[in-house]
Amino acid sequence: MNILDIIDKKVKKIELTQAEIEFLVNGYLDGSIPDYQMSSLLMAILLNGMTEKETVALTEVMLGSGDKISFDFNVVDKHSTGGVGDKTTLVLIPLVASLGTKVAKMSGRGLGHTGGTIDKLESIPGFKTEMTVDELKQEVLEIGAAIAGQTGNLCPADKKIYALRDVTGTVASIPLIASSIMSKKLASGANNIVIDLKVGEGALMTNIEDARALANLMIKIGKAFGKKVITVLTNMNEPLGYAVGNALEVEEAINTLNGQGPKDLEELVINLAALMISLDQNIPMEILIENVETALKNGNALEKFKEIVNYQGGNIDNIVTAQNIIPVKAPKSGYVKSISALKIGELARRLGAGRLAKGDEIDHTVGIVLTKKVGDEVTEGEVIAKIYSNKTLIPEKDVSECFEITDLKVNKSQLIYEIIK
């Protein structure tokens, strides 16, 4: 068995065996298969796909490549497939934990033009994202929640492949996304999982059909391993909230936990939180929604966030954002018809908020903050966004061109498309 034969099979759209998948994943993990050969295979998978059987096998092999966490109590987990301005985890995890449901959240770094939760958290001075399994379990036991990177030796094969996909143009593969997400979720010890599956030009899934396919594949993988999975298809044609960029998004998340966040982000976390808690507590959804809204308003969720940050060594009083702030003005009067999430994400990455190459250092302080959303009225010369920059500058025109302004009044965008169970 050799990697060239496996690549050739996938190029010819021939189903790989469990043994072949074990060979290639373990070979890449131990270094006997180099980056360039794994990149070739990943591209073949992107172009030709994988069967459901292959995807379950890949999930199983990546799950078995390292340790697995087990809890003595029920734990619910959440995952987002990645979007622009997606700081949902920062609000959702403390919100759910403040209402008595335990959450162990393993998160990743930025992938493509999308931001990563770990990158955001590392903009909080002192915040420790690398934890041992015992530390993670102890934190969940003591305060009900923890947010960490791929802890210890959990799914090391996925961690290595994930980083390679980010810089080889192989991000948007349904089986690779499904196996990556589910191997991490299964390894993290969650009994039940809610997945926020982004749909739109700023997401990995750009259309509803692919999103449904990914949703159903992850549900099937969950069933294969005895786990309950709920997927929520949500709009990513415009950035979520206003802030795009690591420290800027943390600040917006804190504002949301303080009851002063953007309406779209608030709507999303309230619905996701209710679904997560419903998997743990036998309470009607309408009551759960009410309880979640109360936790956001009364400060309980914010206090839980502070508790998590303090437990993991962070200090939210010392978050730094770039001091060079450039206003972007509307070129004409009218109504915002669309905001290109993809272009905003790419511009933020150019500023240094994301990675262009494997191993790139991120500037946590930079990004773009919108002041208008789809459906808002604007007047010519009004500030529609702000660029936060340091070393790298981008033209104001590049940002203003992300906004489509029309003379006709525009309705607000639908945020939640559907829920698949």
53-69 pLDDT per residue, tens:
999 999 999 999 998 88
- Above 70 in pLDDT, residue 115? no
Predicted pLDDT at 175: 96
Q: What is the mean pLDDT of residues 360-376?
A: 95
| Rounded Cα–Cα distance for residues 143 and 44 (Å) | 44
Predicted pLDDT at 24: 95
What are phi and psi for residue 302, nearest 5 degrees?
-65, -40
**Active-site annotation holder among 87, 102, 159, 184:** 184
Residue 166 near residue 82 (C-beta atoms within 8 A): no
Predicted pLDDT at 238: 96
342-356 pLDDT per residue, tens:
999 999 999 999 877
**Active-site annotation holder among 77, 119, 158, 196:** 158
| Rounded Cα–Cα distance for residues 145 and 167 (Å) | 32
- Above 90 in pLDDT, residue 102? yes
Tokens representing residue 152 in the block: 């210890």
186-213 pLDDT per residue, tens:
988 888 999 999 999 888 889 999 999 9
Could you write out the DSSP letters of every residue in 58-101? HHHHHHTTSB----SS--EEEEE---TT--HHHHHHHHHHTTT-
Task: DSSP letter for 114, please.
Answer: B
The pLDDT confidence band at residue 81, using thresholds 50, 70 and 90, is: confident
- Above 60 in pLDDT, residue 112? no
Helix, strand, coil in percent for the chain, rounding step 5:
45, 15, 40
Predicted pLDDT at 351: 95
292-307 pLDDT per residue, tens:
999 999 999 999 999 9
Predicted pLDDT at 214: 96
- Please provide the average confidence, as pLDDT, over all residues in the chain: 93
Q: Is 32 a catalytic residue?
A: no
Predicted pLDDT at 167: 82
Predicted pLDDT at 111: 58
Q: Is 184 a catalytic residue?
A: yes
- Above 70 in pLDDT, residue 358? no
Residue 373 near residue 264 (C-beta atoms within 8 A): yes
Which helix (H) or strand (E) covers residue 199, if one does? strand 192-199
Q: What is the mean pLDDT of residues 127-143?
A: 92
Going along the chain from its start, the domains and CATH numbers come out as 3-49 (1.20.970.10), 76-317 (3.40.1030.10), 320-406 (3.90.1170.30)
- Above 60 in pLDDT, residue 77? yes
Q: Is 407 a catalytic residue?
A: no
Long-range contact list for 304-308, CB < 8 A, 24+ apart? 304/94, 304/95, 304/97, 304/98, 304/143, 304/144, 304/145, 305/90, 305/91, 305/94, 305/253, 305/254, 305/257, 307/94, 307/143, 308/93, 308/94, 308/97, 308/139, 308/143, 308/145, 308/146, 308/147
pTM for the model: 0.89
Could you write out the DSSP letters of every residue in 9-68? HHHTTPPPPHHHHHHHHHHHHHTSS-HHHHHHHHHHHHHH---HHHHHHHHHHHHTTSB-
The length of the chain is 421
Predicted pLDDT at 387: 98
The pLDDT confidence band at residue 229, using thresholds 50, 70 and 90, is: very high
Q: Specify the amino acid at residue 12.
A: K
Could you write out the DSSP letters of every residue in 315-335? -GGG----SEEEEEE-SS-EE
Predicted pLDDT at 191: 87
The pLDDT confidence band at residue 110, using thresholds 50, 70 and 90, is: low
Adjacency order of strands within the sheet including 324-329: 243-244, 367-370, 383-389, 324-329
**Active-site annotation holder among 87, 165, 212, 349:** 165
